[in-house]
């Protein structure tokens, strides 16, 4: 008897399956296999040593949850035909295929294009390679298909992407606060008037999910040491690009060298899609890591200083504040850095970084989570007053600089 699916052992969910056919063929494609070498949470392993899982793991986990969601909705009478089920599974499998090295860290530093735009271009390219079989998946991914709830399962405030990454990141970091009842949330999903809703008895699980998401952002994704390491990596790439532009010899793997020598944005990708996607697909974490390791010995004092610091985990200090830092405070740090032993000349000019990080566990920029009450009314989650879920953006300002002590 011919096997219908490939069985994998996932550390988070146990045995998961990939149906043979186009889904398995997409997993086998070099564009997807590249995700094995892109860390899901960038440099978070500098703080949580176990956080070495990849976008490859995450995409397969999200596919597994989508299979569960489709089965649960069908059991409740929601009509999802075979083509639609395959399309929504392709869309979630490929939703992160446009991520570059170290995931979000190098967006708008190495490449001036958003990963979702690149994911769409990759899907369009794969659609041609697979004789148009991704056409419906692309419609679902873009929110252009008539059954809007399918798009919400891929990209919404309760999508399978978020359910997987919170659970998976919690598992690999060991941060228990991120554990969510993903299985109960999926079982509580339903569809009313073509919109995804949560049955009222599942609201507590959703509230826990939103709380966990906020905690994970400040405790893991925006941990001050993680942010410091990511800012240092951005500085390294900016310095490497400046040296390349000035004609200073700089070794880099060919895939990285191309993006250091050329400023490539979204319009370039659309105009020269096939050529640039192939260049981008050749680039992953290993190229950046190899280059940074090599640049420790580069004659440019700033590049070598930053590279040594990142490789050997001599990271910058990072301070968070609820308000912008005063110019006087920043100037005091600048003066302390100038001429300091062990730092490159004009260190303060290059090595003080100011910025801000924002996090919103629940936002109105995406469609609200809708709750179906016991009286069959559909109301926004933020209006279910008993649970106190209100849209709010949390902002913290940061100041990042070499440690003075």
Q: Which of 195, 177, 164 is nearest to 68 (CA)?
A: 164
Asked whether residue 156 is domain-assigned, the answer is yes
Note down pLDDT in tens along the chain; length 405 residues.
567 899 999 999 999 999 999 999 999 999 999 999 999 999 999 999 999 999 999 999 999 999 999 999 999 999 999 999 999 999 999 999 999 999 888 888 889 999 999 999 999 999 999 999 999 999 999 999 999 999 999 999 999 999 999 999 999 999 988 888 999 999 999 999 999 999 999 998 998 998 898 899 999 999 999 999 999 999 999 999 999 999 999 999 999 999 999 999 999 999 999 999 999 999 999 999 999 999 999 999 999 999 999 999 999 999 999 999 999 999 999 988 887 877 887 777 889 999 999 887 676 666 889 999 988 899 888 777 565 566 677 899 999 999 976
Tell me what pLDDT residue 387 has: 56
Tell me what pLDDT residue 346 has: 74
Q: Quote the domain boundaries for residue 95.
A: 5-221
Give the residue carrying structure tokens 């708008």: 108
Q: Which of 355, 349, 360 is nearest to 320 (CA)?
A: 355
SS3 assignment for 355-404 = EEEEECCCCCCCCCCEEECCCCCEEEHHHCHHHCCCCCCEEEEEEEECCC
Tell me what pLDDT residue 345 has: 76
Asked whether residue 395 is domain-assigned, the answer is no
Tell me what pLDDT residue 359 has: 82
Number of domains present in the structure of the chain: 1
CATH of the domain at 186: 1.10.3210.10
Q: Are 157 and 362 in contact (CB under 8 A)?
A: yes
Q: Are 232 and 315 in contact (CB under 8 A)?
A: yes
Asked whether residue 211 is domain-assigned, the answer is yes
Asked whether residue 30 is domain-assigned, the answer is yes
Q: Please state the separation of Cα 176 from the chain's center in Å.
A: 20
Q: In which element (H, E) is residue 85 found?
A: helix 82-93
Instruction: Supply the pTM of this predicted model.
Output: 0.95
Asked whether residue 303 is domain-assigned, the answer is no
Asked whether residue 287 is domain-assigned, the answer is no
Tell me what pLDDT residue 385 has: 52
Asked whether residue 184 is domain-assigned, the answer is yes
Q: In which element (H, E) is residue 5 found?
A: strand 5-10
Asked whether residue 64 is domain-assigned, the answer is yes
């Amino acid at each position: 008897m011919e096997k219908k699916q490939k069985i994998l052992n996932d550390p988070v969910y146990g045995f998961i399956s990939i149906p043979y056919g186009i889904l398995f063929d997409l997993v086998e494609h070099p564009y997807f296999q590249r995700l094995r070498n892109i860390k899901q949470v960038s440099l978070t392993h500098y703080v949580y040593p176990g956080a070495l899982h990849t976008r490859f793991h995450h995409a397969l986990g999200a596919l597994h949850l989508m299979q569960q969601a489709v089965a649960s909705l069908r059991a409740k009478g929601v009509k999802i035909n075979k083509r639609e089920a395959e399309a929504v599974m392709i869309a979630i499998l490929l939703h992160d295929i446009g991520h570059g090295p170290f995931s979000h860290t190098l967006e708008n530093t190495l490449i001036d294009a958003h990963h979702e735009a690149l994911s769409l271009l990759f899907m369009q390219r794969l659609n041609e390679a697979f004789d148009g079989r991704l056409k419906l998946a692309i419609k679902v991914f873009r929110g252009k298909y008539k059954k809007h709830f399918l798009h919400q399962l891929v990209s919404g405030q309760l999508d399978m992407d978020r359910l997987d990454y919170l659970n998976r990141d919690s598992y690999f970091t060991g941060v228990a606060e991120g554990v969510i009842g993903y299985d109960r949330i999926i079982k509580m999903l339903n569809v009313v008037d073509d919109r995804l809703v949560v049955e009222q008895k599942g609201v507590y699980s959703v509230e826990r999910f939103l709380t966990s998401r906020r905690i994970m952002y400040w405790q893991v994704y925006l941990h001050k040491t993680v942010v410091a390491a990511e800012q240092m990596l951005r500085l390294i790439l900016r310095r490497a690009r400046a040296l390349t532009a000035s004609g200073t010899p700089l070794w880099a793997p060919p895939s990285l060298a191309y993006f250091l020598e050329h400023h490539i944005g979204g319009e370039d990708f659309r105009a020269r899609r096939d050529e640039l996607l192939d260049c981008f697909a050749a680039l992953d974490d290993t190229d950046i890591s190899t280059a940074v390791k090599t640049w420790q010995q580069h004659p440019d004092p700033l590049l070598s200083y930053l590279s040594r610091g990142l490789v050997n985990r001599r990271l910058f200090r990072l301070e968070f504040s609820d308000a912008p830092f005063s110019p006087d405070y920043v100037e005091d740090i600048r003066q302390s850095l100038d001429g300091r032993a062990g730092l490159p000349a004009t260190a303060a000019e290059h090595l003080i970084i100011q910025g801000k990080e924002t996090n919103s566990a629940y936002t109105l920029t995406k469609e609200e989570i809708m709750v179906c009450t016991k009286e069959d009314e559909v109301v926004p989650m933020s209006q279910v007053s008993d649970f106190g879920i209100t849209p709010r953006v949390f902002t913290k300002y940061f100041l990042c600089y070499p440690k003075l002590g």
